[in-house]
Amino acid sequence: MAQEELRKEETLAMRNRLIGQSCKLFYSEDPVKIVRARGQYLFDENGKRYLDCISNVQHVGHCHPAITKAAAAQMDVLNTNSRFLHDNIVLYADRLAATLPQKLCVFYFVNSGSEANDLALRLARQYTQHEDVVVLDHAYHGHLMSLIDISPYKFRKLAGQKEWVHVAPLPDTYRGIYREDHPNPGQAYADTVKDLIEDVHKKGRKISAFFAESLPSVGGQIILPQGYFPKVAEYVHSAGGVFVADEVQTGFGRVGHHFWAFQLQGDDFCPDIVTMGKPMGNGHPLACVATTAEIAGAFTANGVEYFNTFGGTPVSCAVGLAVLDVIVEEDLRGNAVRVGAHLKDLLTKLKARHEIIGDVRGVGLFLGIELVIDREKKTPATEAAAHVVKRLKEEDQICVSTDGPWENVLKFKPPMCFGMENAELVVQCIDRILTVTSLMTPHRLEVNTTSHNISLPPGKCSLPEDDILKFHTFIIQNK
Amino acid sequence: MAQEELRKEETLAMRNRLIGQSCKLFYSEDPVKIVRARGQYLFDENGKRYLDCISNVQHVGHCHPAITKAAAAQMDVLNTNSRFLHDNIVLYADRLAATLPQKLCVFYFVNSGSEANDLALRLARQYTQHEDVVVLDHAYHGHLMSLIDISPYKFRKLAGQKEWVHVAPLPDTYRGIYREDHPNPGQAYADTVKDLIEDVHKKGRKISAFFAESLPSVGGQIILPQGYFPKVAEYVHSAGGVFVADEVQTGFGRVGHHFWAFQLQGDDFCPDIVTMGKPMGNGHPLACVATTAEIAGAFTANGVEYFNTFGGTPVSCAVGLAVLDVIVEEDLRGNAVRVGAHLKDLLTKLKARHEIIGDVRGVGLFLGIELVIDREKKTPATEAAAHVVKRLKEEDQICVSTDGPWENVLKFKPPMCFGMENAELVVQCIDRILTVTSLMTPHRLEVNTTSHNISLPPGKCSLPEDDILKFHTFIIQNK
């Protein structure tokens, strides 16, 4: 393929005509056409370079030559399905096993995090012979019908909550029901799951699984309080259920010191099922479910074959192996530790200077900055977050996006080769944008907390008129 | 990756330990390790060559250099997600649109046929606001939870039939309720769907979709009677439902004269949703849903984003475009017409000489040979079919497999570069194997039609003892 065959307007017109409009574009008002990428950089059709702070799929960097080489070499030799014996699938499973607690020793290869979570749900139900699932509020586990059912982020907007789904509070120590000032938020949040399970039992129902992202992502880049997972696992096991850790967004060393984010909850903690996806193939459709011999055995015992056409092909596994190699060879976990710590440190300093930054949180290269209208009430600064995203794109060619129930959390989950200088640049740019914004809206911003509409105060400010006009226009357009 | 890093026994031992045993191996008693493939040939670790009659995924041939080249070139340049504008996705959608009736003009790219069928179900329900689904008996639409629900082939062995699922008879004119001798089997089978819909309405329920493979594959390589789809579509539309054609196994020119198998049902017939998968990326995980502007519009109207992480990436679409190019450049549809006709002709001649062949059916390179113990009762010759598969592998290095509710249908869906000489070889080999088998079991085979156990008669036969021994052993092992 040529890098650009169509003019951007043609591409956009064809996209609007041919691709389902539920498939949204980034920056939908003025979408970006990207024709080339390398490492942590994206390039548009005019050669303009963007710094990518959000592509966690391109884990070891966009278009890493080692990954391309491994894929092409294997494509040239063999790419059958996993019904034939092949070395790649077993070597890859073995390498993955080495990153996990010993108990998680059986693997199923699939094509997407969604397929992995759907299979995890099947495994949990088959093993426990129970039906019900406990999930965290605002969770997102995938686009499939079965996963919309267990994703409050989606089902609230669609078919609603099924009788077998139970939503536990998001253990968010910044704005949740138990906060930093609580003596033991991990225990307190775990107790909400315990209470929920008791309610489920009172209804004569039984828990098959507790399903959670190891670090809730769509929920707002949440870092779970210590002790939460082990306690929840204890309660879930007592109820005869299994613990599923969704590592689709967080696995493969993103958190730095640990290979898996669930390991942040202590060396003794081990889920019963782990699902993985996005970063696994650096863009190649590759995902996996890891589980115990007991759970896998129960699934086998039903006597029905599980066949996934493209799951675990020689090419997929060659790509997966190459990704693991690059993580080690380039010390990307070490980089995530160093750059992540520096970025968090810089953002924390920024917080001291900008009232609008309510919280800075994160671990490794998984970070969030929560913007609030006022620090006491923690009113989400949704429009301001969107404004920062837009300005970063337009003025600095930096791609950042928002998450959280109010879309007021700026999230960072860049390719793992993200550098110190990248961290410094993005913080400088956010500083500049927030300075401008706060001058325009100096604490007098009136906020309707129901609709989150913002009315700008009539007072004058010392900024150029077009900046104010842009901000007004932006806010009006986004109402 | 080296072609073979482990000895075969090690690979097998690791596979047994590390990969879920629900993921079955071909020839499970003596699995084959394949290390290399090209065109329609597979090569094991000793360089032994197998003729591949079953890999419909490797549509344009294993490891086609044009596909590898396209994938590697795009991997080297860019592989972001579809939230950024890119030419490949729109150019590919445009090329697919050109193969379909004009009405099917909106596309959603996903990673597997299963993801495509799950999305089709969501689209149908969102558009119709109805819940129920009519499916064909013995159908298989994928491994996801939502699809097991609409796959009698799976749900009968698992969770059972949901109240919103309704099973219509498989329009099999060989052994179904209406056969070749019926004056209008297409109408008669369509009327069974009409009756089913009436029953559904009597229960106060409403049809969202009729879901069918354009040529039922797991059902036994079934060729649907003329007029069936148009009539069914009429009834389904009257009930406010939509018609979903599952082309995951049958699309992309496999049937030769037509690009899509649903087109065998007449130029005027057009489904409301078409799903595609397996052959689309020649092994790369790539699948798609095509639908009408109205159905896509209803899906957009719910206001919820549909994001598929790996769906429609620049690499997936580059691969998809390359597959379309090769189909044209190498006239693979013409090849499917010519070789398929020759293979069918040879098999039909074989039928005249072997009582065990009850039926030969197919179109293009989608063929089935149904083996029966006796032609009148059509008792499925399940063990004989397994025996043929095993002999073809062991003696001739030919890979064929079985399908159908009784696993008595030998199926052919080879890479589309399958040649005349391949067709002739496979027919010669089947002829030889059936000759041996029939000498051993000359119409005196006693058959227990319930369990399909076969007791060999005590009578002598003129074959070498070890052949008879092998057959006995085989039958005992497979009881």
Domains of chain B, by residue range, sit at 8-60+332-477, 65-329
Q: What is the pLDDT of residue B389?
A: 98
**Testing the interface with B: which of A11, A62, A81, A85 to mutate, by most B Cβ within 10 A?**
A85
Tell me the pLDDT band of B74, cut-offs 50, 70 and 90. Answer: very high
The nearest CA of chain A is from the CA of B119 a distance in Å of: 7
Among A286, A220, A274, which Cα is nearest to A247's? A274
Q: What is the pLDDT of residue B159?
A: 81
| pLDDT of the residue at A384 | 96
Do residues B104 and B269 lie in contact, with contact meaning Cβ atoms separated by under 8 Å? no
Q: What is the pLDDT of residue B3?
A: 57
Q: Which candidate from B14, B72, B296 shows the least CB-CB separation from A90?
A: B14
Burial code (b: 16+ CB inside 10 Å, e: under 16) for B420-433 equals eebbeebbebbbeb
Residue pLDDT, tens place only, B396-413: 999 999 999 999 999 999
Length of chain A: 479
- B75 and A67 in contact (C-beta within 8 Å)? yes
At B373, the amino acid letter reads I
pLDDT tens-place string over residues B17-60: 999 999 999 999 999 999 999 999 999 999 999 999 999 999 99
* Residue A452 pLDDT > 70: no
Query: What size, in residues, is chain B?
Result: 479
For residue B114, list chain A residues with Cβ-Cβ distance below 8 A: 115, 308
Pick the residue of A14, A57, A144, A402 with the most B CBs within 10 A to test the interface with B by mutation: A144
B211 chain-A contacts, CB cut-off 8 A: none
**For residue A3, what pLDDT band results from cuts at 50, 70 and 90?**
low
Round to whole Å and give the CA distance between A372 and A374.
5
Q: Which of B64, B83, B128, B300 to mutate to test the interface with A (most CBs of A within 10 A)?
A: B83
Q: What is the pLDDT of residues B353-377, one digit of tens each?
A: 999 999 999 999 999 999 999 999 9
- The residue of A110, A143, A280, A407 whose CB has the most chain B CBs within 10 angstroms, and thus the best one to mutate to test that interface, is A143
Contacts of A195 (CB under 8 A, 6+ apart): none
Report chain A residues whose CB lies below 8 A from the CB of B58.
79-80
Please report which confidence band the pLDDT of residue A437 belongs to, taking 50, 70 and 90 as the band edges: confident
Asked whether the beta carbons of residue B1 and residue A25 sit closer than 8 angstroms, the reply is no
Q: CATH assignment of A65-329?
A: 3.40.640.10
pLDDT score at A187: 98
Give the orientation angle of helix A420-440 with respect to helix A332-353, to 10 degrees.
Answer: 20
The pLDDT tens digits for B306-335 are 999 999 999 999 999 999 999 999 999 999
**Residue B422, pLDDT score:** 98
Q: ipTM > 0.85?
A: yes
**C-beta of residue A263 within 8 angstroms of C-beta of residue A362:** no
Count of helix runs (H) and strand runs (E) in chain A: 14, 17
How far apart (Å, rounded) are the C-alpha atoms in residues A52 and A64? Answer: 15
Put simply, the answer to whether A25 touches B55 (Cβ < 8 Å) is no
Mean pLDDT over B157-177 rounds to 96
Closest CB to B144: pick one of A12, A118, A321: A118
- DSSP 8-state class, residue B114: H
What integer best gives the mean pLDDT of chain B?
A: 92
Vertex B388, ends B59 and B386: CA angle to 5°?
90
User: Is the pLDDT confidence value at A106 over 90?
Assistant: yes
Chain A residue numbers with beta carbons less than 8 Å from the beta carbon of B402 are: none
The partner residue sitting opposite A302, judged by closest CB among B24, B74, B158, is: B158
Per residue in A406-434, pLDDT (tens digit) is 999 999 999 999 999 999 999 999 999 99
DSSP string, B13-34: HHHHHHB-TTSPPTTTTSPPBE
Fold assignment, B8-60+332-477:
Aspartate Aminotransferase, domain 1 (3.90.1150)
Q: Do A86 and B300 count as a contact with CB atoms less than 8 A apart? A: no
pLDDT at residue B479 in the model: 37
B79/A278 CB distance under 8 A:
no
Structure tokens at B448: 């227990």
